[in-house]
Amino acid sequence: MTVARTRSESHARGERHVVACERLGCPPAGVFYVGDKLHTDALAATRAGLTGIWINRLGEETQEEPPHVVTDLREVLRLVLTRDR
């Protein structure tokens, strides 16, 4: 497993997902993108073809239906390990 980190200060929000894929040398479908912002992280990543994961530590309510929601990083590992099973 490889982890790439992007910073919002260095890239426009819409470009972060592309930058992460380029750094990893992977197609978007092979990349998990974890973020604490529902719309600009998880949903935007999903729209870009990545597997978007919203880390919702505070248990915030939403009308949106995010593809994957976790409350801590251990749950991300479970998602990665159980993908394609």
Please state, in angstroms and rounded to a whole number, the distance separating the CA atoms of residues 18 and 58.
Answer: 28
Label the pairing between strands 68-70 and 32-35.
Answer: unpaired
**CATH superfamily of domain region 13-82:** HAD superfamily/HAD-like (3.40.50.1000)
Please state, in angstroms and rounded to a whole number, the distance separating the CA atoms of residues 20 and 6.
Answer: 7
pLDDT tens digits, one per residue of 13-63: 557 787 878 888 889 888 888 999 999 889 998 998 999 999 999 999 999
Query: According to the model, what pLDDT value does residue 42 have?
Result: 92
Structure pTM? 0.77
8, 14, 36, 75 alpha-carbon torsion, rounded to 10°: -120
Please state, in angstroms and rounded to a whole number, the distance separating the CA atoms of residues 44 and 46.
Answer: 5
Spell out the domain ranges in the chain.
13-82
